[in-house]
Structure 1
């Protein structure tokens, strides 16, 4: 049987759970979606790493355009031998300077490949920022949804507490059997437990959000009460960042083929120097050149590998285009579905469910409806509002996907 002593403890626990988030919010830092996006773009390690990759590619491009350094040499001959060559009197000392001349367009093709890699790195940097913005937007929307579910859980717990109190009063007056009060008490306990779960979910969602700009234990309060209305723009699937990156990688692969072909052509090293003859004190100029004979190694293996990489890059470009078309179409379909669902839920289903709860609650207090009818009405209202929260989240995700596709 329902205990009078147990009711105050149950109701007190529910009240404590309903107000549990107030002290936490008092110390939380208010954050809008714009604040979250700005912090992520300026503080996220992801952006820092992507920017460093661009800087590294630019450094390699500068290095690729440099000529080989000249080389100095010193050579001594005809000493420490036998006969007239036993000392240093017949020594011949030669001082040379040599320069390797890169032939076949090596420096030009090397610089072109490095420049192509810089272009790809810059697009990758833009992609990293766009991906981060999308994730921040989605995480913010998920945190908002978790906050809405927490509010709903607290309101449900309050309604369940009030219903349990009314049921207990009706049982004491003999208008309801004791089983009704036990059922109402169980529903109140379930609602109280749901508040705990919703509080944990909301806290985890906020932590997931702040982690995107490199923090872990910062308490934030979401100040955007509803997802911002954002205009959708027409997106060309062939100009998304994913397709542009695949295109840049294909251009890089083609440039690497030219670089490896040029690397297989022999270079010419010219040498000039002065030779001194210790025996006579005379000196003479020396001139020479060397060049490898491309018989065994013509860099053919690297050329074949570069061609294979180019084939793969072409395939990846086609795949990126297909995926961009699919992503845009899916996002647009999801947006239309979410808008339609929101219109029905917000315009009809939720208001009707709220009216049903109010009517059934009044009827139960007047003895016209049973407890089960009230519980069914409250369950339907909770389900409708949960669907409304999910539809808003789906809409926010679809908009974020379209913004990501349109990012440049």
Structure 2
């Protein structure tokens, strides 16, 4: 017959079982109820993934800085179209009024060779580069928020799992101590329980430190200097088939990164035209009036000045501009190869994580739950000790952690692909590849 301590410990352990079984159900309810509020202002203590993306797009200082670069480029464009200012000069020869000569001149530089239009074209390309940089920054920010959100979510769930493990470890140690006093177990088994609890306690401290770091990283992306106050929610999604890698690579031509690289070519070509236009000397026209103080006669002055391009023909800048054009064309090739490789890697990770999610859902999690239930039942019947139950629980929690990691890898891989591939709904936070649907 089991002792009263044995029965008491079993009762404590059974209190943890409903919590373990209801864990996934609670997360699904949270996601189902709050995912449809992605575009609304956050008034609750929950923060969904879509809400985090929208907050980052509104408040991230780096994105705001990229948008301010467009305003700077607009000012440069306006200045590029300005004409040279005329100059007025007054010359006086002699100090005595009766013998002095005074000349008033108005000079105007006339730009030749299409310099003004060439400047405007360069400024237009600079503005286009700044605009494209905003698009790239938005895509990269979205990918970073997805990664940081899921990292923080995984760290939070890991901390919860370790906390539950610590609770069970403490119960195991207390029960082992009581059973040792009752003569049911040996001191060695009691020591093993104490060691198991100490290891879980170390994991608990480490998990909470990692959780704080992850939440601070996410808060920084949202434009906050402190920690997050909201609770994160596991995104709900359905595993949809990802388009083939061949189809995805075909979309790279419309990627913002390649558009940016091609615009850089256009910018360097516009700069080359400007440098060539600068080889043409400008003409300065001078008109004025000269008055002789002694005779009182006035006469008009007309002149023209043209620099002689004997030594400086801007040849060095033209050569540099030619080489920059060639470099920009090479950069397009480098960028395409880099994106193709990263797109293929992300695609493979998404495929692997999808298979992992299916396997964990269908096989691993049910088996781990069944093993835990069997360990608890065996403990009630006196067939297993607490360490057996602790091992079964640890296996169950590790399986859940593995599942969360696989979901995180799936989301991160798809977010990585969305850095380069133009996808419908990327600005609104919708996920084309995941085929996610918010249940209402």
Which TM-score bucket, shorter chain as reference? Answer: 0.7 to 0.9
Moved more, 397-406 or 92-101: 397-406
> Structure 1 stretches of 5 or more lacking a match?
19-27, 81-86
Distance 1:31 1:136, change over 3 A: same
| 1:397 aligned partner | 412
Counterpart residue number, 1:84: none
| 1:239 equivalent in structure 2 | 254
2:144 aligned partner: 135
Give, in whole Å, the separation in 1 of the partners of 2:237 and 2:227: 24
For residue 304 of structure 2, what is the aligned residue in structure 1? Answer: 289
5+ residue gaps, structure 2, are 20-43, 424-440
Give 1:269's match in structure 2, choosing from 279, 284, 300.
Answer: 284
Q: Which moved more, 1:161-170 or 1:393-402?
A: 161-170
1:61–1:118: 8 Å Cα contact kept in structure 2? yes
Aligned match for 1:384, one of 399, 415, 425:
399
TM-superposed deviation, 1:59: 0.8
Residue among 84, 88, 99 paired with 2:97: 88
Report the Cα distance in structure 2 between the residues aligned to 1:265 and 1:175, rounded to whole angstroms: 102
Mapping of residues 349-388 of structure 1, within 5 Å:
349-369=364-384, 373-388=388-403
Task: Report what 1:205 is aligned to.
Answer: 214
Contact kept? 1:206, 1:220, Cα under 8 Å: no
**SS of equivalent residue, structure 1 residue 311:** helix
The within-5 A match list for 1:9-408 is 29-77=45-93, 79-80=94-95, 87-226=96-235, 228=237, 235=248, 236-369=251-384, 373-407=388-422
Stretch moving more, 352-361 or 311-320: 352-361
> What residue number does 1:21 align with?
none
Shift of 1:163: 3.2
Contact 1:130 1:407 in 2 (8 A): no
Q: How far is 1:170 from its partner?
A: 4.0
Give how far 1:248 is off: 1.0
Quote the Cα distance in structure 1 between the aligned partners of 2:235 and 2:208: 19
Say if 1:237 and 1:328, in contact at 8 Å, map to a contact too: no
Please report how far the alpha carbon of residue 46 of structure 1 lies from its aligned counterpart in structure 2 after TM superposition.
0.4
Relative to the length of structure 2, the TM-score reads: 0.80
- CA displacement at 1:288 relative to structure 2: 0.9
State the distance in 2 between where 1:301 and 1:124 align: 30
Cα deviation code 1:85-135 (max 9, x no counterpart): xx3323222111111011111111111111111111110111112211211
Deviation at 1:171, TM superposition (A): 3.3
- Distance of 1:312 and 1:356 partners within structure 2: 62
Question: Quick one: distance in 1 between partners of 2:323 and 2:214?
Answer: 44
Q: What is the Cα deviation at residue 406 of structure 1?
A: 3.0
Tell me by how many angstroms 1:349 deviates.
Answer: 0.8
* 1:227 to partner: Cα distance: 5.1
Compute the displacement of 1:172 (Å).
Answer: 3.8
**Cα shift at 1:192:** 2.8
Matched residue SS, 1:404? coil
Give CA-to-partner distance per residue, 1:59-86, whole Å, 9 cap, x none: 1111111110111111223x25xxxxxx
Q: What do residues 241-292 of structure 1 show as CA deviations (whole Å, max 9, x unaligned)?
A: 1111111111111111111111121011111111112222221211110000
| Secondary structure of 1:304's aligned partner | helix
Considering only CA atoms, is the larger Rg found in Structure 1 or Structure 2? 1
Indicate if the aligned counterparts of 1:345 and 1:388 stay in contact, CA closer than 8 A.
yes
Q: Is contact 1:43-1:214 (8 Å) kept?
A: yes
Kindly indicate whether the alpha-carbon contact (under 8 Å) linking 2:47 and 2:230 is maintained by their aligned counterparts in 1.
yes
Verify the 8 A CA contact 1:60 1:114 in the aligned structure 2: yes
Distance 1:357 1:30 in 2: 31
Work out the CA distance in 2 between the residues paired with 1:142 and 1:218: 15
Q: What is the CA–CA distance in structure 1 between the aligned matches of 2:335 and 2:365, rounded to whole Å?
A: 41
- What is the CA–CA distance in structure 1 between the aligned matches of 2:322 and 2:224, rounded to whole Å? 44
Provide Cα deviations, 1:17-68, integer angstroms capped at 9, x if missing partner.
x9xxxxxxxxx94322232222222222102211121111111111111110
Q: CA RMSD in A?
A: 2.6
